[in-house]
Structure 1
């Protein structure tokens, strides 16, 4: 992990442009769907190991269409494979971008939280009589825990 702190800003204009670029990507891929978790689990998955199998099946089906039932749509299979292959590099690129954005967000959030903890500790240490008691108490609520009795009473209510 990089130990150098992140010191950057994202101007509203840049953020808007990034969001517009994402909207443009969605617009360019109007066939994208949103599956439920149950639907995801029910679908057979095509990963790296399955790609060769699928390609071989298409080759066999293309060269020997006579054994396929009439209802089998070979052209649709071909289109599905072509779309999968076209989407694959897009998926890899977006996955890498997602990981970078996620890691950066995590690191920056961690930096901000660590700084906030320092502020809280400094305010706690020097806040006596400085008018910070109320703010320190409010900030301290972040660390308060309900007793087991209070949790049980809430759960039964």
Structure 2
């Protein structure tokens, strides 16, 4: 089981991932078809994403999977991003950071910490006050499964109008 953070090359003011969420979803679907893995949790923010993946015991090549996801997504959207001279020389698009962060999950406590971190991330970044209001997340799937209550994790200081009776 691995935790990942993957970023766009240009993060400031970029909403590419949420604007093209269907293309990203399709890139994941196609990659999972050819190279299976289970997405235990995921959140897509405008300029980065976090995932927890369970890889098959016989194939832990996550770098190939990320390379395919990034390439499929990149090919599916218009080529109008700023590209550095270095990337142009290599024939690369300027969409993704070349690197990503991966972390091998060590135990159940580590899993739970990253699982919650993923789902709280839109609130952490100030996109909204309630986790349940973010649609680009596996949070709702886990509510249906009974893992989280719908009102889990409200931003500090946020007024919960439902609880306040409004």
State the structure with more CA Rg.
1
TM-score range (shorter-chain normalised) is under 0.3
Q: Which has the higher helix share?
A: 1
Given the two structures, how large is their TM-score scaled by the length of structure 1? 0.24
Given the two structures, how large is their TM-score scaled by the length of structure 2? 0.23
Q: Which has the higher strand share?
A: 2
